[in-house]
């Protein structure tokens, strides 16, 4: 497992019926890229829409060079349709975005309803989806779209590698999120959680009613509850356990 030091990943959420369903049903919605707040997400570019490939017309080659079996001929192949299929495939993925820390001030503001929501800690180990490098990785932040070779569209292995490269690349403007991603090939659906819920932390503005609702939902489980609090004298968050 890569990055074994990362034992947990976190999901910031506002408090609503969908978030409660995550806790009660141990499942989560994998949204399509088109629903993301960043329209640049999963964008990529191809250097050309043609590739040079060996000619498939063996009879014509043999006729033109009857005395030389080693002659190879090449042709220019238009892969415009392959490129279109690649983009359509990207659109069909379901992606769940996760964070490395429960103490990120901006993440609480942007994704947890201005600190009124919660942060769900999910366990990561080598035997679950979050520890599987084939479906969960840390995002790479770059200045430009991933630039792909058109030749990568000619084999299934290269297509898979190119898809993953695009799925795990975002603009450097988002680098503060330290995002990890886990995906499903068919998005827009609910799937079982990729890792067990270890703890739930309530934002500094969370209501007592929300805390009581969640407390009742997890009764009898080993899920721990925490309350976020503002640090004194510095911009930061600390946590206290709810008993």
What are the residue boundaries of the structural domains of the chain, listed by start? 1-30+95-139+179-243, 43-92+145-167
Give the pLDDT confidence score for residue 49 in this predicted structure: 84
Give the pLDDT confidence score for residue 67 in this predicted structure: 54
Give the pLDDT confidence score for residue 213 in this predicted structure: 97
At residue 47, φ and ψ (nearest 5 deg) are -65, -35
Residue 211 burial (10 A CB sphere; 0-12, 13-18, 19+):
middle
Give the pLDDT confidence score for residue 216 in this predicted structure: 96
Give the pLDDT confidence score for residue 71 in this predicted structure: 46
With 50 as the cut, is the pLDDT of residue 199 above it? yes
Q: What is the pTM of this model?
A: 0.88
Grade residue 69 by pLDDT with cuts at 50, 70 and 90.
low
Give the pLDDT confidence score for residue 34 in this predicted structure: 95
Q: Which of 15, 20, 12 is nearest to 206 (CA)?
A: 15
Q: How many whole angstroms separate alpha carbon 76 and alpha carbon 90?
A: 26
- Judge whether 148 and 213 are in contact, CB under 8 Å: no
Give the pLDDT confidence score for residue 92 in this predicted structure: 97
With 80 as the cut, is the pLDDT of residue 183 above it? yes
Q: Which own/partner pairs from 109-113 qualify as long-range (CB within 8 Å, at least 24 positions apart)?
A: 110/12, 111/12, 111/13, 111/14, 112/12, 112/13, 112/14, 112/203, 113/14, 113/15, 113/203
With 90 as the cut, is the pLDDT of residue 64 above it? no
Average pLDDT over residues 105-116: 97
Give the pLDDT confidence of 136-181 residue by residue, as tens digits: 999 999 999 999 989 889 889 999 999 999 999 999 999 999 999 9
Give the pLDDT confidence score for residue 61 in this predicted structure: 54
Q: How many whole angstroms separate alpha carbon 13 and alpha carbon 26?
A: 15
With 60 as the cut, is the pLDDT of residue 119 above it? yes
Average pLDDT over residues 41-55: 83
Residues of the chain with pLDDT > 70, as a percent, come to 91
CA distance readout (Å), 151 to 174, 189, 222: 30, 32, 50
Q: How many whole angstroms separate alpha carbon 157 and alpha carbon 150?
A: 14
Average pLDDT over residues 72-85: 81
């Amino acid at each position: 497992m890569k990055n074994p030091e990362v034992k947990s990943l976190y999901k910031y959420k506002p408090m609503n019926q969908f978030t409660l369903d995550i806790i009660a049903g141990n499942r989560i919605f994998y949204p399509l890229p088109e629903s993301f707040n960043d329209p640049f997400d999963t964008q990529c570019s191809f250097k050309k829409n043609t590739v040079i490939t060996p000619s498939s017309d063996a009879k014509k080659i043999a006729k033109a060079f009857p005395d030389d079996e080693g002659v190879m001929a090449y042709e220019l192949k238009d892969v415009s349709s392959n490129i279109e299929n690649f983009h359509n495939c990207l659109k069909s993925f379901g992606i769940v975005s996760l964070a490395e820390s429960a103490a990120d001030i901006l993440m609480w503001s942007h994704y947890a309803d201005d600190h009124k929501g919660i942060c769900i800690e999910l366990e990561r180990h080598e035997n679950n989806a979050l520890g599987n490098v084939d479906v969960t990785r840390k995002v790479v932040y770059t200045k430009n779209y991933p630039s792909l070779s058109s030749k990568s569209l000619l084999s299934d292995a290269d297509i898979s590698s190119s898809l993953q490269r695009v799925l795990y690349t975002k603009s450097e403007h988002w680098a503060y999120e330290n995002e990890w991603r886990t995906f499903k090939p068919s998005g827009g659906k609910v799937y079982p959680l990729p890792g067990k819920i270890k703890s739930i932390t309530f934002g500094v503005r969370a209501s007592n009613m929300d805390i009581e609702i969640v407390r009742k939902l997890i009764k009898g489980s080993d899920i721990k509850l925490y309350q976020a609090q503002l640090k004194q004298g510095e911009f930061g968050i600390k946590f206290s356990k709810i008993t």
